[in-house]
Structure 1
Amino acid sequence: MPQIITIFVTVFLAELGDKTQLATVLFAADRQTTPALVFLAAAGALVASTALAVLLGTAAERYLTMIPLKLIAGIGFVLVGGWTIVDHFRSAAGA
């Protein structure tokens, strides 16, 4: 049971304030869309993307046992962060 709590809290905190949540807030603020529809669509999208992540993680663990997956994930986060910073400065320079 402690594992499920750890996973829940980690994912919940990681999702707070991210772009997906902000997009959901914007959809919910649209008066033409019902809150229930926004919730169902956003929840379905999160479930589908999580299912894909679990499938990919399971396959990666099976086929990439020599490579530490946490290292790969960390490098991926650093690359995405670097790309986001570069994109920010490119957008600021063009504005």
Structure 2
Amino acid sequence: MWQLASIFAAVFIAELGDKTQLATMLFATEGKHSPFAVFVAAALALCVSTALAVLLGSVFAQRLEGIPLKLIAGIGFIAIGAWTIVDYLRT
């Protein structure tokens, strides 16, 4: 049970205020779609993208044994952050 709670908390916090959530909020505020339709479409999109992530993660874990995937992911996030900062400083 704690495993589910920790995964839920990590994903929930990571998703707060991200561009996906902001895009969903914009769809809801446009008034072109019902709030229920926006909710269902966004929830389905999140479910499908999460299923894809779990599937790919499982495949990578089987095929890339011994490679520190958390380290690679961390370096990737740092690289994206550095790229974002550099891009911001150029403007």
Q: What TM-score results when the alignment is normalised by the length of structure 2?
A: 0.91
Matched residue, 2:74: 74
User: Structure 1: where are the runs of 5+ without partners?
Assistant: none
Matched residue, 2:40: 40
Identical-residue share of aligned pairs (%): 62
Per-residue deviation, 1:39: 0.5
Per-residue deviation, 1:5: 0.4
Map Cα deviations across residues 11-70 of structure 1 (whole Å, 9 max, x no partner): 000000011101111111011111011101111110111011101110111011111111
The letter of the residue matching 1:65 is: E
SS at match of 2:65: coil
Tell me how far apart the structure 2 counterparts of residues 79 and 44 of structure 1 sit (CA, whole Å): 30
Per-residue deviation, 1:71: 0.5
Per-residue deviation, 1:9: 0.5
Tell me how far apart the structure 2 counterparts of residues 38 and 86 of structure 1 sit (CA, whole Å): 35
Which stretch of structure 1 is more off in the superposition, 2-11 or 81-90?
81-90
1:62 aligns with 2:62: yes
Per-residue deviation, 1:88: 3.0
User: Structure 2: where are the runs of 5+ without partners?
Assistant: none
The alignment yields a C-alpha RMSD, in angstroms, of: 1.2
Which stretch of structure 1 is more off in the superposition, 6-15 or 72-81?
72-81
Matched residue, 1:27: 27
